[in-house]
A and B are shown apart, each in its own frame.
Chain A
Amino acid sequence: MAKIYFSEEHEWISVEGGVGTVGITEYAQTQLGDVVFVELPEVGASIDKGDDVAVVESVKAASEVYSPVSGEIVEINEELADAPGLVNQNAEGDGWFFKITLADDSELDDLMNREDYDAFVEGLE
């Protein structure tokens, strides 16, 4: 059973079997507007927590995406190359960015659960 965590930078990570699937949150996609391109990391890249690991381009601007955990990129969402709009349509599902192995499970302790994240977002508005 996957468990989902959220960062203050509006990434989500769903963890199952030592691998995390990472994307940006529904709140983040509404703030960005129409996504026209996503620059993803390379499979095999070694990432430290907090690294800028992807870039999401809306019509207006480019925004960096930070990795919520350290580890190695094991898969990227190839569908985003042809269909970047998936990020708008289903940010916390089909619009995922990459999968990463978890080098240190304790890094998840710094992240929020959904309830805390929802409260965090509410505090921003």
Chain B
Amino acid sequence: MGDTTSEPLLTTPLDALHRELGARMVPFAGYAMPVQYQGILHEHAQTRERAALFDVSHMGQAEIRHPEGVAAAAAAFEALVPGDVRGLAEGRIRYTLFTDAHGGILDDLMVTNAGDRLYVVVNAACKHQDFAHMGRHLAGCEVKTLPDRALLALQGPEAAKVLARFAPEAAAMPFMSARALDVGGIAVWASRSGYTGEDGYEISVAADDAEALARRLLAEPEVEAAGLGARDSLRLEAGLCLYGADIDATTSPIEAGLAWVIGKRRREEGGFPGAEAILKQLAEGPSRRRVGLRIEGRQPVRAHAEIRDAGGARIGEVTSGGFGPTVAAPVAMGYVDAAHAAPGTAVACDVRGKALAAQVVPMPFAPHRYFKG
């Protein structure tokens, strides 16, 4: 997951705090990032059972404005994504995708109707392309990137209790909503969302305030720091895609099981990049599908392992895999030929010449526990 360029690594506003906390720092998407503090299994369990704070300041944040207001910005944004952005109520967030002319996925992202603007969060490794892409194609809009904002994710079943201690309004925020909050004197933009399958918040804060906010949250008895290692094992158990592994320009939203991101009106009207290919695939069914895999035994199966049918024929490839700490078993996701995609299908995964028995299963592996109000 690291990269190997010789460019000096960028740091997030929490770099000194990570080192003080004893993090193991690794290169990720051009940044020095904490992969773990005390250990991935511990941080994973901490997130599932209580609350954990993740630094995701490497991700790309931007604001999109249109002189005629947010509705005009939303209409322009729909030229790049298959999601219903015009229908997004004020303060609501939607998960969506930048698609290309062939129906491939350029990135996945969160877009929020922030009242007078759209607020967008994209993947770190794609952010410069994404910003340029938006700048080129969002007719009449101003795309303002937010390099001076940090992003902290507070995740876990006790996240709401902790944040509400400083900002009582946080408790009642619906899942996939966002608003401005005052967290004990620090102004933030808080989204009730995340990448772990748990309840929680993703909190955008001025870089200058980031360390004070992080220290304030970490001082609460429920909260510990968690790194990218646990973030990956948590999102895998939650069945959430990692861009560059499970989805990319060679996978379509339909193959990826992300047809639900295409709004009803968008299915009828099209008008997004690759609409023809994507809507045709939606109608006819894709030739391969992303599926979850439960591996028998304890041996993890990693990305790029071949998936075979009962007769030994190659039917696909694993795109993400590892040991699921909460399910206490190896879990993986990957693409298989559509004929083998039904839950319950027996398959095998090749690991170093050994065929490990596995079964296609529905995802998530660990149930989502989002706030239901």
Contact = CB atoms under 8 A, between A and B. Distances in A.
B300 interface: yes
A61 B26 CA distance: 14
Interface stretch (B35-43, B94-102, B286-294, B342-350): B35-43
Contacts, number: 42
A36 B229 contact: no
A20 interface: no
A58 B300 CA distance: 9
A39 interface: yes
A34 B41 contact: yes
Range, interface on chain B: 10 to 19
B352 A55 contact: yes
Report, nearest first, the 7 A-B pairs whose CB atoms are least far apart: A36-B323, A59-B40, A34-B41, A37-B299, A37-B298, A57-B300, A34-B39
Contacts of B39: 33-34
B229 A60 contact: yes
Contacts of B41: 34, 36, 59
Contacts of A43: none
A2 B264 CA distance: 72
Contacts of A62: 300, 302
Given A36-B300, A57-B300, A84-B298, 5 more contacts: A34-B41, A37-B300, A37-B330, A58-B40, A60-B35
- The listed residue with most A CB atoms (<10 A of its CB), out of B302, B323, B330, is B323
Interface of B: 35-36, 39-42, 44, 229, 232-233, 298-300, 302, 322-323, 325, 330, 352
Contacts of A45: none
Given A57-B299, A57-B300, A33 B40 contact: yes
Nearest to B1: A60
Nearest to A57: B300
Interface string A8-45: 00000000000000000000000001101101000000
Given A60-B229, A62-B300, A84-B298, A37 B36 contact: no
Contacts of A60: 35, 40, 229, 232, 322
Contacts of B298: 36-37, 81, 84
Interface of A: 33-34, 36-37, 39, 55, 57-62, 81, 84
- The listed residue with most B CB atoms (<10 A of its CB), out of A36, A81, A84, is A36
A85 to B, nearest CB: 8
Given A34-B39, A60-B35, A39 B229 contact: no
A70 B301 CA distance: 29
Contacts of A57: 299-300, 323
Nearest to A85: B41
B40 A39 contact: no
A124 to B, nearest CB: 14
Nearest to A58: B40
Given A59-B40, A59-B323, A59-B325, A33 B229 contact: yes
A62 B41 CA distance: 16
22 contacts: A33-B36, A33-B40, A34-B41, A34-B42, A37-B298, A37-B300, A37-B323, A39-B352, A55-B352, A57-B299, A57-B300, A57-B323, A58-B40, A59-B233, A59-B323, A59-B325, A60-B40, A60-B232, A60-B322, A61-B302, A62-B300, A62-B302
A39 B298 CA distance: 10
Nearest to A30: B24
Contacts of A58: 40
Contacts of B302: 61-62
A61 B303 CA distance: 10
A81 B229 CA distance: 23
Nearest to B328: A36
A34 B44 CA distance: 11
B33 to A, nearest CB: 13
A84 B323 CA distance: 12
A84 to B, nearest CB: 7
Contacts of A81: 298
Contacts of B40: 33-34, 58-60
Nearest to A34: B41
A2 to B, nearest CB: 30
Given A37-B300, A84-B298, A59 B322 contact: yes
